[in-house]
Structures are given as C-alpha cells and as structure tokens.
Amino acid sequence: MVTQAEKAETFRALHEASVPFALPNAWDVPSARVFEDAGFPAVATSSAGIMVSLGFPDGEAIPRKEYLAAVRRIVERLSVPVTADVVSGFGRGARAVVRTVELALETGAVGINLEDLTPSGDGLLPLRGQLGKIRAVRELGRTAGIPLVVNARTDALRHAPGEPGAKLKEAIRRAKAYREAGADCVYPMGLVAAEEIATFVDAVRCPVNVMVRRGLPPMSELERLGVRRVSFGPGASYAALGLLRRIGEEVRTQGTFQLLTEGAISFDELNALAVARRPPAAPGP
C-alpha cells in the first residue's frame, strides 16, 4: 500500500518538474473519480464546490467537521494524492488553523491551500498573523512525518489598496513572505494576464499556482512563463452546473433531450464512481 507520506512526496515532486501540471478541483466523490480516471496525477478539493453542494455559501459558514467529512470521503475513494482547500483555516489564530490542518491530514490529504482572505471575503488578513500560521503548519507537517505541500494563496490582487500596479506589488510582497515562512507554492488569486504572470514568477522565484479562468493563456504559454501549477478552482463545478442549466432550458423550452443524453455516462459507470480505486500493487522483489 502507498503511504500518505509517499503520496505527499509524489505530489511535492509535481511542483519540482520542468513543466506545469494541471490540478483539477473536485467537489464530491464522483467528480474526483472522473478526474482521476481521466489520468490527472493529483486532485484538489474545491472549497466553494463542496460548500455549495452541501447548502452553504463559500467561506467558513459550514461547520469545519462537516466540511472535512466531505474531504475525507473524496480522499478515501481515490488512489492519487489529494490536496485540501482549508480556506482561511477555520480560525483566527495559528492554533486554530493548525488544528484544522491536523484534521485535514487525518483525512489522508497530503497538501493544503491556505488563503489570506478574511472569512467574510471583504479584505486581507494581517500579514504577520498569516506568516505565523504558515510557520506553524510547516512545523506540524514535520512533526507528523508528512511532507505536507503548503500552497499559500493571496487575494491582494483583488483586495489590496491602490491601483492595479500597487496591488500586484503587494501580491508579490506577500508571496515572498509566505515562501520565506515555509510555503511550497504561492497562489496569486486573479492573476491572468501573461505580462503580469511573467512579472510575478520572475519576482517570487518559487513554484507558482494560477487558476483557470477566462483569459488565462494555454498550458504551453504558461510553461514558457514559468508557472508550475494550474488549478481549476471552482471552474469545473461552474461548467457542470452550467450544463445542467442548459439541459433544463432545452427540455423546458424545446421539449428535446439532446444535451441530457449526448455524452452522458451509463448507470454502471456512475455506480462505479462510488467504489474506491485500488492502488497499483507494489513491485515484487
């Protein structure tokens, strides 16, 4: 059996490769299994996708226990590494955030995404406190014997004061500080333009995660720009729900079922997505 530490090392190695890797974000077991079956080497959880699927808005309105139970169900059904989005950590101080990450490790996750956006979503958390959280989480990974991959997200491009240039400078300043505090990868939320991506990557000089959104360059261009990790964010759940909306509109307005039936999986395929994938057997002596 592949251990959690081994999965963490596998996930860490993806960030050190010379080419970027795409990281799909799942919101439940079936979506995670679809991504695994498609051949992705790792899967991330989508905080917004999970929370909304359980009837909560994105943020930290959902009870931590309920959120991490959903993460656990995903991890238990996959053989590839899973990294968990823990939003702002479900707590004000480092102690509460460490407890959240400790619980995430107990689910079997091998990485976390920790953001500096306030739970209310209306501003940035103080830099000093965020650095303390990252250092504490880094130490937790060492103590647990799990090479936990810490992806530090900053929302400075949206919420820092000033004009766009000042916001980019603040995103770079925070990303550098997060890296020095122990983050393995930095994630500037909202970074899309090729010129700004190049500026950011050149300034921080560490693995950078960008999120798929309208206007993002293709993987080949992101490789040239030096990006290492390309996450879906909630994009796949947007796309899936957009399809459901179009299906409803077609049936209601046209009385036809083309979108509902074309490209759909079968009942047996659906049922199989609930069954844990067996990891490959270890090679013999």
Residue 277 lies in a domain: no
CB of 229 closer than 8 Å to CB of 208: yes
For helices 127-144 and 164-181, angle between their N-to-C axes, nearest 10 degrees: 30
User: SS3 for 186?
Assistant: strand
pLDDT digits (tens, 9 = 90+) for 47-67: 999 999 999 999 999 999 999
In eight-state DSSP terms, residue 259 is H
pLDDT for res 196: 98
Residue 212's pLDDT is 98
In a domain, 280, yes or no: no
Let me know if residue 279 belongs to a domain.
Answer: no
Q: What percent of the chain has pLDDT over 70?
A: 97
Integer CA distances (angstroms), 278 to 76, 157, 223, 281, in order: 11, 42, 32, 9
In the chain, the number of structural domains is 1
Tell which residue, 40, 15, 42, 20, has the closest CA to residue 184: 15
- Looking at the chain, list the stretches that DSSP marks H as alpha helix, in order from N- to C-terminal side: 4-15, 29-37, 47-53, 64-76, 94-107, 127-144, 156-159, 164-181, 194-204, 219-225, 235-254, 258-261, 267-272
Reading across the β-sheet that carries 229-231, which strands appear in turn? 21-23, 229-231, 209-211
Residue 33 domain flag: yes
Question: Is residue 281 pLDDT above 50, yes or no?
Answer: no
pTM: 0.93
- What is the per-residue pLDDT for 96? 96
Please write the tens of the pLDDT for every residue from 230-261.
999 999 999 999 999 999 999 999 999 999 99
Q: What is the pLDDT of residues 113-158, one digit of tens each?
A: 999 999 888 899 999 999 999 999 999 999 999 999 999 999 999 9
Residue 102, pLDDT above cutoff 70: yes
Q: What is the pLDDT of residue 211?
A: 98
Write the pLDDT tens digit of every residue in 70-83.
Answer: 999 999 999 999 99
Predicted local confidence at residue 283, as pLDDT = 41
Beta bridge partners of 84: 112
> HSE-up of 209 (CA within 13 Å, CB side)?
29
> Does residue 285 have a pLDDT over 50?
no
CA distance 88 to 116: 6
pLDDT (0 to 100) of residue 265: 94
Q: Is 207 left (phi over 0), alpha (psi -120 to 50) or beta?
A: beta
Question: Does residue 234 lie within any of the structural domains?
Answer: yes
Residues 147 and 20: their CA atoms lie apart, in Å, by 20
* pLDDT tier at 279, thresholds 50, 70, 90: low
Q: What is the mean pLDDT of residues 31-50?
A: 97
Q: Looking at residue 120, what is its pLDDT?
A: 83
Q: What is the pLDDT of residue 278?
A: 63
**CB-based contact 229:209 (threshold 8 Å):** yes
| Residue 281 counted as domain residue | no
What pLDDT score was predicted for residue 276?
A: 83
Residue 283 lies in a domain: no
Would you say residue 284 has pLDDT above 80?
no
Alpha-carbon span 33 to 37, nearest angstrom: 6
| Cα separation, 63 vs 55, whole angstroms | 11
Residue among 129, 132, 148, 131 at smallest CA distance from 140? 148
Return d(Cα 49, Cα 233) in angstroms, integer.
Answer: 9
For residue 250, the enclosing domain spans 4-272
DSSP code at position 80: S
Query: Is residue 278, in this structure, part of any structural domain at all?
Result: no
Give the CATH number of the domain where residue 143 resides: 3.20.20.60
CA 46 to each of CA 50, 54, 127, 128, 179: distance values in angstroms, whole numbers, following the listed order: 6, 12, 24, 26, 23
pLDDT at residue 203 tops 90: yes
Q: Is the pLDDT of residue 227 over 60?
A: yes
What's the chain's average pLDDT?
95
